[in-house]
Amino acid sequence: MSRRAEKLRFSHPVFIGALAVLILCLSSNAQTNELQPGTTTGSSNLDASRVFALGMIETGNDDRGVGRAGEISRYQIHPAVWKAYCTSRDYRNPEVSLEVARQHWAVLSNYFKEKTAREPTDFDMYVLWNTRYAYYASKGFDPKRLPRFVSDRAQRFVNLVNRRG
């Protein structure tokens, strides 16, 4: 193969996209702490049960889901939020969307801890996920001050996280 052909092959957009996904996956796997059986995690960790619950409540785990406000991926992430974490536009790729979700989840968790000086519950995390930035803070991080539709949806998330079987 000529040098020019070799150069073109490795600069092709498909190759570059695949390489980006691979890097995201590797970085996601490196950042994920594997748990030993019987251990538990705080809600600030987007573990398997939370990943499943988040995807289910947002889109039924449909990678092609697009929300009314243009939210993308199975986790219904607003495009502006997505761009803050990732340059990929492969919104339907479950590995890429999971990496973006993990990054955003961590930012929301840290924000909550900074503002309240306590660990967020699953309920708190879903309210943060599902509402605009600083909305929950404007309610004093008090579930009793939330509209019923917000608290009902957050409670459904909690129920999905805690489901057995």
Those residues of the chain that have pLDDT short of 50 are 5-41
* pLDDT score recorded for residue 45: 87
- Classify domain 43-161 at the CATH class level: mainly alpha
pTM over 0.75: no
CA angle 152, 158, 37 (to 5 degrees): 175
Q: Work out the burial of residue 103: count CB atoms within 10 Å of its CB; fewer than 13 is exposed, 13-18 middle, 19 or more buried.
A: buried
142-151 residue pLDDT tens: 999 999 999 9
The torsion of the CA quartet 61, 66, 70, 74, rounded to 10 degrees, works out to: 20
The single residue listed with the structure tokens 């660990």 is 119
* pLDDT score recorded for residue 13: 43
Find out whether 24 and 86 touch, Cβ atoms under 8 Å. Answer: yes
